[in-house]
């Protein structure tokens, strides 16, 4: 029996790969993926605090908007206090809706990662031409405001069509955060070249954990601490990437940010032994390695 396959990468056991180190001889790279998202009012997709009623769903819309008005600013202050860089995963609609917020992260020197137009829509439901246009529209907004082409992309809801990696590579992207299949970066095949997949977590991600599994704030922070401690030990045999996926309307709530601070303080205490970085810096480092090192 032959199963249908994606053809993007072959099987590669992590225990059989060539070892390498991150900058300064470190073996564990840690990055924060902060999702800044804007949603349509009265239509489209969106995470729910409680089951939504008929549109307009004011309760869930306003809860999500708290992240842009309050939560993200609290997280920015926390990142400043702990001197932590961030990969800002941004809907292009945010530039019109909350420009002050993006200016504040730009002034920190954070990376901006493409995140389509809005999380109210999925790109996987579009035709190839429509998806290509969506990627082009979102990319153009980021490029105009940041004066640089974004390196990385994360699809809203991690939704891909069968040609998404091809379209991203052809649009000038060098890495994607969509594929959570590994603890190391891996190369994906596309129809016109390669696209690097940087590990982006679906376990250490506040939406699946808090919205999906109803994990409480302290337990989510414990997950971060335990995952970090274990990966730091495991990294003795080879390089690893630990991403932390955050959404301001979730971890920006006061009782959750207090627990998040505890976890990030624990990670920061080990900064001499790890590489605290941005996802784009990981991609740039991997691209410079000799061929065959990254599977």
Query: What is the dihedral angle through the alpha carbons of 210, 180, 183, 14, rounded to the nearest 10 degrees?
Result: 140
Q: How far is CA 98 from CA 67, 74, 80, in A?
A: 11, 15, 20
175 CB contacts (<8 Å, ≥6 apart)? 151, 152, 153, 185, 195, 196, 197, 198, 279, 280, 283
List phi, psi (to 5°) of 114: -65, 135
Q: Where are the beta strands (DSSP E) in 95-138?
A: 111-114
* Whole-angstrom distance, CA of residue 23 vs CA of residue 285: 9
pLDDT by 10s per residue, the chain, length 295? 999 999 999 999 999 999 999 999 999 999 999 999 999 999 999 999 988 889 999 999 999 999 999 999 999 999 999 999 999 999 999 999 999 999 999 999 999 999 999 999 999 999 999 999 999 999 999 999 999 999 999 999 999 999 999 999 999 999 999 999 999 999 999 999 999 999 999 999 999 999 999 999 999 999 999 999 999 999 999 999 999 999 999 999 999 999 999 999 999 999 999 999 999 999 999 999 999 999 9
Q: Set out the domains of the chain in order of their start, with CATH numbers.
A: 19-40+54-287 (3.20.20.370)
The phi and psi torsions of 265 (rounded to 5 degrees) equal -65, -40
Instruction: With 0.95 as the threshold, say if the pTM is over it.
Output: yes
Q: Degrees (nearest 5) of the Cα angle 111, 117, 118?
A: 100
């Amino acid at each position: 029996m032959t199963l249908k396959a994606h053809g993007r990468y072959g099987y590669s056991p992590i225990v059989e790969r060539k070892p390498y180190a991150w900058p300064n001889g470190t073996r564990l790279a840690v990055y924060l993926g902060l999702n800044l998202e804007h949603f349509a009012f009265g239509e489209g997709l969106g995470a729910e605090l409680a089951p939504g009623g008929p549109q307009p769903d004011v309760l869930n819309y306003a809860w999500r908007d708290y992240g842009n008005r309050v939560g993200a600013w609290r997280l920015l202050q926390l990142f400043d206090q702990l001197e932590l860089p961030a990969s800002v995963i941004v809907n292009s609609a945010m530039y019109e809706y909350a420009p002050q917020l993006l200016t504040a992260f730009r002034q920190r020197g954070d990376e901006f990662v493409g995140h389509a137009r809005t999380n109210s829509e999925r790109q996987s439901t579009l035709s190839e031409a429509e998806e290509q246009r969506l990627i082009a529209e979102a990319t153009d907004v980021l490029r105009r405001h940041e004066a640089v082409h974004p390196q990385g992309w994360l699809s809203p809801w991690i939704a891909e069509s069968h040609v998404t990696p091809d379209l991203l590579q052809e649009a000038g992207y060098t890495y994607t955060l969509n594929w959570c299949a590994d603890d190391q970066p891996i190369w994906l095949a596309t129809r016109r070249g390669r696209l690097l997949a940087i590990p982006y977590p679906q376990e250490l991600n506040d939406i699946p954990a808090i919205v999906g599994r109803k994990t409480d704030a302290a337990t989510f922070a414990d997950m971060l601490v335990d995952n970090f401690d274990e990966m730091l030990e495991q990294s003795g045999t080879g390089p690893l990437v630990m991403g932390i996926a955050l959404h301001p309307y979730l971890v920006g709530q006061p009782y959750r940010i207090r627990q998040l601070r505890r976890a990030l303080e624990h990670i920061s205490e080990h900064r001499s032994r790890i590489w605290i970085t941005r996802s784009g810096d990981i991609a740039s480092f991997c691209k410079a390695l000799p061929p065959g090192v990254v599977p």
